[in-house]
A and B are shown apart, each in its own frame.
Chain A
Amino acid sequence: MWLKVYNATAGRLVEMPALGPAREKSEKTMKGFSTFVNLYAAGMESNSNFQSVFMEAMRRVKEKTGSEMEGEITPEKCKDFYKIWIETYSETFKEFLKSGHFASDMGKLNSHLMDFQKYNREMLEENYLKPMNLPTKTEIDEINKELYSLKKTVKELTSQIKELKEKK
């Protein structure tokens, strides 16, 4: 709900095209805000679902233990309670984790998390590493790709030379 309100109000301001000499930078910065908002929203939804499962697990524990846990607290009672608690929580959470609902929620959360992390890294490269003339992850990846390709070529050529030698 709050996300809808946000999108209709402050979100529109954030998405507004930037103007002026620093427009590129400020647009990127504003874009990062939306990425964070999406992650926050997905995190809150996921958190709220987990809270509901915790509540349900707690309700089930209470139902199972009932009046047994009343009166003097003994070590045996503590052990019994632990057994019931771990079994109930484990089963309740497994039910939830097996649901398509959880899978879809986790998928969304993970997707927004990756967007947010990627954005942070881009900003770090743009605002700190590049101005300090330090290598960025993007540049290292380019070298790694080149290295991979070269190694593959060397392996293929070595194998061809070996075959030719064997033929001779």
Chain B
Amino acid sequence: MNGINLIEDFDKFKYGMELLLKPPEFSVGTTPSEVVFSEDKMKLIHYIPTVEKPHPVPILIVYALVNRYYILDLQPDKSVIKKLLDEGFDVYVIDWGYPSGADRYLTLDDYVNGYLNNAADKIRDLSGLDKLTLLGVCQGGTFAVMYAAQHPEKVKNLVTLVAPVDFDTDKGILNLWSKSLDVDKIVDYYGIVPGDFLNSAFLLLDPFRLMIDKYVGMFDRIECNPDDITCQLRNEDYIKNFLRMEKWIFDSPDQAGETFRQFMKDCYQKNLLIKNELMLNGKKVNLKNINMPLLNVMAEFDHLVHNDSSKPLSGAVSSTDKETLVFPTGHIGIFVGSKSQKEVCPKISAWLKPRSLINGKAEEKTGSANEERPGSAKGKSEEKTGSANEEKHESVKGKKAKTKKDESRSKVNKI
């Protein structure tokens, strides 16, 4: 029996190595798209709609600078973007590109009021609408919040996914570490902060799991049955999925030094954003200017952006139509985990659909998108907080509160 187990384990390793020695071809970000605008290294990508008449208000997805946006389109069956397209949305994504030496002086203002603003203007031109939906992810969510605060007239809906806004928490390891970091010395030396420098910090969050156990697990999941073609295909698919994720994890663009300096010092160390004291382009970023519908989405087991860092957004804005969703998953699992396609995307779509119309009609594309605010009945303000498992719907006046437990609470989906 023991001998058999040993042979099985060795076979798993052998088959795994065989698969890696003739590396399977795999691709990421395969959803059909076109570049509709570019400025320096930034590209604005438009995804080809999959429905005949998409919801009029377009969505602009803003991803973080530290990793690549294609985690949202990793593979066809794990693609947030494809899901949004299939739900009838018109989707755009900003690809920040890979900064090089010439970009070391780019500031946070250049990203938010420069690239992001120009991309938003281009979409407004293309759609013929005054406003768009901003969907910010992780650090991109923080950028989206800054943008919405400085340009509320251009944002119809704001959706933030695992986005930090309050950095004064010791519950997140990154928050703790960043307080002891001499950011000036790092930026002054590197100029362009290497992506690998940041990646080594991410790996250090759980070194044994991320540098040993992950790879042991990869071989362990190989099914050994060389005569069974379907089993071989499963193995190959599994390895492909693993390699896609591996590619994304280590595809870390370098960081424009001045942006990194300001983000680390003003946000992580001084926590200026939530205090409405952050300065961009000589103007204060006042979160109270955010008055559009807000959906704040979090991952309960987020090891990079603790919920305490994202939750305060709802209280800091002046939006009356706002909702918070917490899903029992992790920071990456929220995009590629099993819950992503089944729960996260459908909930976001359901929230966005009635808010992506013009004058209550899906067909018309003329006129200002701000003329219609679905779900905001006159004189009635409401705030929703809840999670995938628990939804709380309460009026701002606090008179009535109703809690509903979703039976479909699933187990932790950590990646």
Contacts and interface: CB of A to CB of B under 8 A. Distances in A.
Interface of A: 74-76, 82, 86, 89-90, 93-94, 97-98, 100, 103-104, 106-108, 110-111, 114-115, 117-118, 121, 137, 140-141, 144-145, 147-149, 151-152, 155
Chain B contact patch, size range:
20 to 34
Interface of B is mostly: helix
Contacts of A121: 189
Contact of A114 (B176, B185, B212): B185
B5 A76 contact: yes
B185 A106 contact: no
A103 B182 contact: no
Contacts of A149: 105
Contact of B177 (A93, A103, A152, A155): A103
Given A76-B5, A114-B185, A97 B205 contact: yes
Nearest to A119: B189
A86 B213 contact: yes
Contact of A97 (B2, B173, B191): B173
B209 A100 contact: no
Contact of B102 (A74, A117, A144): A144
Interface of B: 2, 5-6, 9, 40, 101-106, 110, 114, 173, 176-177, 179-182, 185-186, 188-189, 191, 204-209, 212-213, 216
11 contacts: A86-B216, A90-B208, A90-B213, A98-B173, A103-B180, A110-B185, A118-B185, A145-B105, A148-B102, A149-B105, A155-B114
A155 B206 CA distance: 44
B198 to A, nearest CB: 12
A75 B10 CA distance: 11
A76 B2 contact: yes
Contacts of A107: 177, 180-182
A151 B102 CA distance: 11
Contact of A117 (B189, B206, B208): B189
B191 to A, nearest CB: 6
B9 A144 contact: no
A100 B103 CA distance: 34
Given A114-B182, A141-B104, A74 B2 contact: yes
B189 A114 contact: yes
B101 A140 contact: yes
